[in-house]
Amino acid sequence: MRIFGLIVEREKSRVVGSYGPAIIDLQGRVNVLEHNQKVKVQVAEHEQDGQTEIERILAGGRNQGSDLWEVL
């Protein structure tokens, strides 16, 4: 896989036999699937709170301007 670059090349040298590249490819795919699952769970948790990702980001910066004026 070209995505992981040098890490994959290093790992290929550790795997012995003709199945080495296939094993590395499967490991890469499993890593991507695990990452995607973590992201889906995080998004689902935010949506259960009643906010989508965009709403959460927009809500995070609403009071910054007013806080600045109070300090001055």
Q: State pLDDT tens for residues 13-65.
A: 555 567 778 888 889 999 999 988 888 887 777 666 666 667 767 777 655 55
- Show the DSSP H helices in the chain as ranges: 6-14, 20-48, 53-60, 64-71
pLDDT of residue 46: 66
pLDDT of residue 33: 92
Q: With 0.75 as the threshold, say if the pTM is over it.
A: no
- Please report, as a single letter, which amino acid is at residue 22: A
Rounded to an integer, the average pLDDT of 8-13 is 57
